[in-house]
Amino acid sequence: MSDAVWSAEPTTPEAIERALRRLVHERHTENGGYVPGRTLNLVCFVDRAYVGEALNRLRAAGRNQPSRLILLTYEPRRRSLEGQVVVAARDRPTAAGAPIALFETVRVALGESHLDDLETIVDPLVATDVPTLLWAPHGHREALERLAPLAQAALIDSAAHQRWQAALRQAAELSDRLYVVDLAWLRPAPWRARLAAAFSRPARRAELEAIAAVTISHHPDYTASALLLAGWLASRLGWRPTPLYAGEGRGAIASGKLRSRRQEVRVVLRGLPQELTPGLSSVCVETASGRSLTLSRGPGGLHAHERLPRGQERRWVILGASRGEGGILGEGIRQALLRDPTYLPALQAAQALAPL
């Protein structure tokens, strides 16, 4: 289907907003089945050189797309604003008269001289009465700070930061102003779900108090995800988090003992290089009774290995655990419309666990 397109340079935020309203009106006049989608604004601040990468990541997110994407492309030496508006529909209206949502993309090219006016530039372009999510996939913390008054949520990736200690600290600081959706938290979601399911039966719940050791193996670049998983366990099970002790080197082992209601719990983070998709590679939970459950990444999903106190063993595969980076980003966009009350306690515990 053809898209309705407008562009101009130089331009103003007011002119872009007028063009946006006009194109939406024209599409609706063309066919009454076309209606503007109104679920979420996504404001994306990205360097001009990485626009294609950001758009490809959004396309891979599948059906979890924002109804209005405001793409701010940064070119430091640019002096004037350039604007482009695209109004598109994925389908044609049917004879049954079911409405077809219009998706709106607003692209604004700007320079360093415009950074102090970011809030003024973006304010007329966001759809009112729907949540606004901020995303700066390549850093640009200062842009997030300037746009924060317009938003309700921010999409970040603590694992993408070169120093995960700083990444966790920045996530906590941002959480004081906005609801934070952290991709480093969403990646281990299947692992959290499988661990919770393993202890969900009434007969197994008592064993949560008997957990004596947790070992998390992960790619060295995904220490933030491993710490958030350990922080989730500590915050949900009432363990008192204390700093782990880290060895030297990229694949060093960080370990320590936390205090639960009944006993000490040994926590080990092991960095292991991975040739395929990086992230977590395995999680092993052991209880004082001698039972252990190991989840490890493998073909087809998570591979589970359980050893019972008397030595019996069983193995099985949990299908469909991996969602890929596109699916994780799509879930991050969806999470902007929801609220996960377990992230912030896990983040606080992860900060307390951060190796010395």
Asked, as a colleague might, if the bond just before 190 is cis with ω within 30 of 0, I would say no
Mean per-residue pLDDT for 24-37? 87
Residue-level pLDDT at 248: 56
- Let me know how many helices (H) and strands (E) the chain has, helices first: 11, 17
- What the block records as the tokens of 55 is 């758009």
pLDDT in tens, 293-323: 999 988 878 899 999 988 899 999 887 656 7
Residues in contact with 56: Cβ distance below 8 Å, sequence separation at least 6, in sequence order: none
**189-353 under CATH 3.30.360.10, yes or no:** yes
Compute the distance between CA of residue 40 and CA of residue 331 in angstroms, rounded to an integer: 13
CATH 3.30.360.10 domain span(s) along the chain = 189-353
pTM of the model: 0.91
pLDDT in tens, 326-344: 889 999 999 999 989 999 9
Compute the distance between CA of residue 49 and CA of residue 355 in angstroms, rounded to an integer: 36
Confidence of residue 276 (pLDDT cuts 50, 70, 90): low
Compute the distance between CA of residue 305 and CA of residue 16 in angstroms, rounded to an integer: 57
Residue 61's SS3 state is coil
Which candidate, 220, 191, 215, 196, places its Cα nearest to that of 207?
Answer: 196
**Whether the Cβ atoms of residue 318 and residue 50 lie closer than 8 Å to each other:** no
Tell me the β-bridge partners of 8: 83
